[in-house]
Chain A
Amino acid sequence: MPQKFCCFTDRGEQMNGLSDRVFTKIIVYTPLDERILIEQLKEGDQSAFRKIVEAWQDMVYNTSIGIVQSPEDAEDVSQEVFVQVYESIHLFKGESKFSTWLYRITISKSMDHVRRKNRKKRFAFVKSLFGEQNESIIHPPDFNHPGIELDNKEQAQVLFKAIAKLPENQRISFTLHKVEGLSYQEISEAMNTSISAVESLLHRARHNLRKTLETYYRNNK
């Protein structure tokens, strides 16, 4: 069993990872440093933007990949998120945490992407009725999250398939909770809703997922 650990370098960078894997570097800023970076970005400082991207790129990418379920699409959405951050940083008033603001942009961009993809899928299906084949859009390959342990890959693939069938809010809350490991409080802030609403969403998500998985395993085992 690999040991999980983390440590800080003298530059305030947090190193964490598993003993048998490649290190991932997480840069953690104090709230004060965060505010300074945001002020610098508002003044158009490129190095501040670079620091912001490097500090939050994993968070944005991981959230996005959980929702859009495709590495290429998640990369695309993450880029869009940071472009949006650069262009609308003056709208960030500091009333919520910067990470909450980022989560909101990421969720909104990711869901836009999912809706656009679903529209394309429907259109491709209609086109296929008239003889034009577009298999890759109608039946995309199964999604494998890169952070899932090898032993759980197969089950996680089935679970992600079931998550994709959930209603939007249940899908978002479940993904934030499971993939990003956010607490109910953090999810409620990111989704701009109450904690009890998040509890209810997660309860319904689990119930629906169990039903979908039951149907899947009944037919396939």
Chain B
Amino acid sequence: MKKVNDLEQYIDSAMSSMDKVERASPGPFFFTRVQARLDSNQGRNVWDIASAFIARPVVAIGMVVIVILLNTSVLLKEPESSMVSNVQTEQSFADDYNVPVIAIYDLENNDQR
């Protein structure tokens, strides 16, 4: 029983240890240091700011994800468009050089004759 009371006392004393806390202050000449930091920030050129922005993990990872998604979408769309362009190229080649293009249904038509 005494042990439980002691424990409660320790907890209460810790919980109330911050009741009379005074405000902490930064070291002297704080404004001078803020001013120096501001000056160094203003001295940064556009490239420094841009490279710092790109180097942020969220931005870097986000850009990688976007590149991967774009590549995936291009790869998924590629087969359809390449097939169309292949047929078009074949047809235009045949027209330009007057080469007869034999399709399967032509062969079937010949057999029937």
Binding site for B on A (CB under 8 A): 18, 24, 50, 53-54, 57-59, 61-62, 65, 71, 74-75, 78-80, 82-83, 86-87, 145-149, 152, 155-156, 158-159, 162, 178-180, 206, 209-210, 213-214, 217-218, 221
Contact = CB atoms under 8 A, between A and B. Distances in A.
A209 B7 CA distance: 14
B30 A57 contact: yes
A61 B37 contact: no
B31 to A, nearest CB: 5
Given A57-B25, A147-B23, A213-B15, A79 B10 contact: no
Nearest to B37: A79
B11 A156 contact: no
5 contacts: A58-B25, A74-B24, A79-B37, A87-B41, A156-B14
Given A78-B30, A83-B41, A214 B20 contact: no
Given A75-B27, A83-B37, A145 B21 contact: yes
B34 A24 contact: no
Contacts of A65: 24
B41 to A, nearest CB: 6
Nearest to A147: B22
**B contacts with A: majority SS:** helix
A83 B14 contact: no
A139 to B, nearest CB: 21
A155 to B, nearest CB: 4
Nearest to B20: A149
B18 interface: yes
A198 B38 CA distance: 35
Contact of A83 (B10, B17, B26, B38): B38
Given A24-B25, A62-B24, A82-B34, A221 B10 contact: yes
Given A61-B24, A152-B20, A158 B34 contact: no
A218 B4 CA distance: 10
B45 to A, nearest CB: 16
B47 to A, nearest CB: 19
B18 to A, nearest CB: 5
B51 interface: no
A163 to B, nearest CB: 9
B112 interface: no
Given A58-B26, A145-B21, 5 more contacts: A61-B30, A75-B30, A178-B21, A210-B11, A214-B11
B20 A83 contact: no
B6 interface: yes
Contacts of B20: 149, 152
Contact of B21 (A87, A147, A218): A147
Contacts of B37: 79-80, 83
Contact of B18 (A83, A179, A213, A214): A179
B13 interface: yes
